[in-house]
């Protein structure tokens, strides 16, 4: 057996350790041939929540999930700078070692109070939040029920959990969950943990959380809602879709991220069960990773204050999302869901979507390219995220590029074929 760096011949297997990624390599190669690799692109500068720069070209940012546009908010920036001056640039430890500062605890208290829950725990990222909380909650006899379109961090959370069973139910379908909860005998003292999202980040569709809460109540199941993409954006006080649907008090576990509306990096999970605090002593992704940096915590705290005191941010994003959705619908684009801050335009295949993504970037608009297996129903999408910082003119500019995309479709596809043939 050869050591690290052994060649195919040395291992005798005929394959290197990277061979399993050959299909991925081929796929990436096709994307490179049609232009900039959408999964490996770099901005030379970010000048604000809605503007970036590549070379000397200014780009409208329409794919950054900066829903409330607070990453450049003066209060958030000052709070982050002040935190660095007072506490330095990092915590160098986990929450259970030296990583808990008064700011972590203050933010936990404030998020809990905003959501009306007795307990809230802050984590280093949103991804880690779901990993830690789900794995901490589900024991060997419990069954986790997840929505068919669940985000990767929810799927990974089920993998880290010590339970033996995870069941998927049809996307946004409380009746289907009802049937599956009825089918699945929860025995040996186990419980059912149902995990859904408020706003689904690929299609931008909204869960009927209130109906899910009723189903869970009927079966004695615990309801876990990830409002990463909806906290700060929906609801009279910005508490998300559960608040908008009048069922926030029915949610057992409520998770969110700092990297969307809270304009920072980190995550949180709040619970109506005070015993949730016990999980601080068992959640490995909480116990064995460094805590969020003081600057991140203080920026999120400032963004939370903005969510609570500036309802106009929610009004702006709602208006801009409606404007963009209506404009694209009028042009006849196939949109995946009604208007929300996430607007997904369905394209016929991956190659065309990649070529159009490149064309839009060249024309000064950055959106997300989303392709299988990261998308529901194996869809190929041009995914747009609207920000409260976008102006009416910004949205008109985005719409004009999509109109030009539509008008130049034949030319764009012809160019793609020429590039692919030239590199074949």
Partner 1 sequence: MPTDQQIFDKICELLKPYNVKNKPILRTSGIMSDLEVDSTAVFDLIMELEDHYDISVPMEVISDVKTVGELVNAIQDLLQQ
Q: Which stretch of DSSP H or E encloses residue 267?
A: strand 267-271
In whole angstroms, the minimum distance from the beta carbon of 42 to partner 1 comes to 29
Cβ atoms of 344 and 382 within 8 Å: the answer is: yes
Which CB atom, from 189 or from 373, has the smaller least distance to partner 1?
373
- Both structure tokens of 169: 């139910």
In whole angstroms, the minimum distance from the beta carbon of 169 to partner 1 comes to 8
In whole angstroms, the minimum distance from the beta carbon of 166 to partner 1 comes to 4
Which CB atom, from 167 or from 287, has the smaller least distance to partner 1?
167
Residue 373: cis peptide before it, omega within 30 degrees of 0: yes
Q: Say how far apart CA 325 and CA 335 lie, in whole Å.
A: 8
Site for partner 1 in 137-166 (CB under 8 A): 148, 158, 164-166
- Both structure tokens of 28: 């990436």
Asked if 309 touches partner 1 (CB under 8 A), the answer is: no
In whole angstroms, the minimum distance from the beta carbon of 152 to partner 1 comes to 12
Cβ atoms of 252 and 191 within 8 Å: the answer is: no
Could you give the residue ranges of the DSSP H alpha helices within 71-166?
74-87, 102-115, 126-137, 152-160
Which CB atom, from 104 or from 383, has the smaller least distance to partner 1?
383
Cβ atoms of 280 and 132 within 8 Å: the answer is: no
Which CB atom, from 177 or from 206, has the smaller least distance to partner 1?
177
Per-residue DSSP letter, 197: E
In whole angstroms, the minimum distance from the beta carbon of 183 to partner 1 comes to 5
Per-residue contact flags (x/-) with partner 1 for residues 354 to 393, judged by CB under 8 A: ------------------xx-xxxx---------------
Contacts of 107 (CB under 8 A, 6+ apart): 122, 268, 297, 300, 301, 304
Binding residues for partner 1, rule CB under 8 A, total 18
Q: Say how far apart CA 239 and CA 254 lie, in whole Å.
A: 10
Tokens 């596809």 correspond to 413
Site for partner 1 in 166-195 (CB under 8 A): 166-168, 170, 179-180, 183-184
End-to-end CA distance of the chain: 37
In whole angstroms, the minimum distance from the beta carbon of 63 to partner 1 comes to 22
Cβ atoms of 193 and 225 within 8 Å: the answer is: no
In whole angstroms, the minimum distance from the beta carbon of 340 to partner 1 comes to 22
Which CB atom, from 158 or from 245, has the smaller least distance to partner 1?
158
Which CB atom, from 164 or from 315, has the smaller least distance to partner 1?
164
Which CB atom, from 42 or from 187, has the smaller least distance to partner 1?
187
Q: What phi and psi values does residue 144 have, to the nearest 5 degrees?
A: -100, 130
Which residues contact partner 1 (rule: CB under 8 A)?
148, 158, 164-168, 170, 179-180, 183-184, 372-373, 375-378
């Amino acid at each position: 057996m050869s050591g690290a760096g052994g060649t195919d011949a040395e291992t005798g297997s005929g394959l290197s350790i990277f061979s399993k990624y050959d299909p991925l390599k081929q796929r990436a190669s096709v994307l490179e041939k049609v232009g900039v690799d959408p999964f490996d692109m770099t901005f030379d500068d970010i000048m604000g929540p809605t503007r970036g720069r590549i070379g000397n070209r200014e780009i409208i940012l329409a794919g950054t999930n900066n829903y409330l546009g607070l990453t450049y908010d003066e209060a958030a920036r000052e709070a982050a700078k002040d935190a660095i001056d007072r506490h330095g640039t990092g915590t160098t430890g986990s929450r259970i070692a030296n990583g808990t500062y008064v700011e972590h605890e203050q933010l936990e208290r404030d998020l809990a109070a905003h959501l009306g829950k007795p307990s809230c725990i802050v984590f280093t990222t949103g991804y880690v939040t779901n990993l830690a909380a789900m794995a901490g909650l589900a024991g060997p006899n419990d069954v986790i029920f997840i929505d068919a379109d669940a985000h990767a961090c929810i799927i990974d959370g089920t993998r880290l959990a010590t339970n033996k069973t995870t069941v998927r139910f049809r996307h946004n379908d409380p009746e289907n969950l009802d049937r599956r909860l009825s089918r699945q005998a929860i025995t040996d003292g186990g419980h059912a943990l149902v995990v859904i999202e408020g706003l689904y980040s690929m299609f931008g569709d909204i869960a009927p959380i209130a109906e899910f809460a009723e189903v869970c109540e009927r079966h004695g199941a615990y309801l876990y809602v990830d409002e990463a993409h909806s906290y700060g954006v929906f609801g009279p006080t910005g508490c998300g879709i559960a608040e908008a649907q009048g069922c926030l008090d029915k949610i057992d576990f409520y998770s969110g991220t700092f990297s969307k509306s809270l304009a920072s990096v980190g995550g949180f999970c709040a619970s109506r069960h005070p015993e949730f605090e016990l999980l601080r002593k068992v959640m490995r992704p909480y116990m064995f990773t460094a805590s969020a940096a003081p600057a991140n915590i203080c920026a999120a705290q400032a963004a939370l204050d903005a969510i609570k005191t500036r309802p106009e941010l929610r009004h702006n994003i709602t208006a801009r999302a409606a404007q963009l959705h209506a404009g694209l619908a009028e042009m006849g684009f196939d949109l995946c869901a009604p208007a929300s801050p996430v607007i997904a335009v369905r394209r016929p295949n991956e190659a065309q979507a990649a070529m159009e993504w490149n064309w839009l970037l060249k024309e000064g608009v950055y959106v997300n390219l989303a392709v299988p297996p990261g998308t529901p129903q194996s869809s190929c999408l041009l995914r747009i995220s609207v920000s409260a910082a976008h102006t009416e003119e910004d949205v008109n500019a985005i719409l004009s590029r999509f109109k030009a995309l539509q008008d130049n479709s034949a030319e764009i596809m012809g160019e793609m074929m020429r590039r692919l043939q030239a590199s074949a």
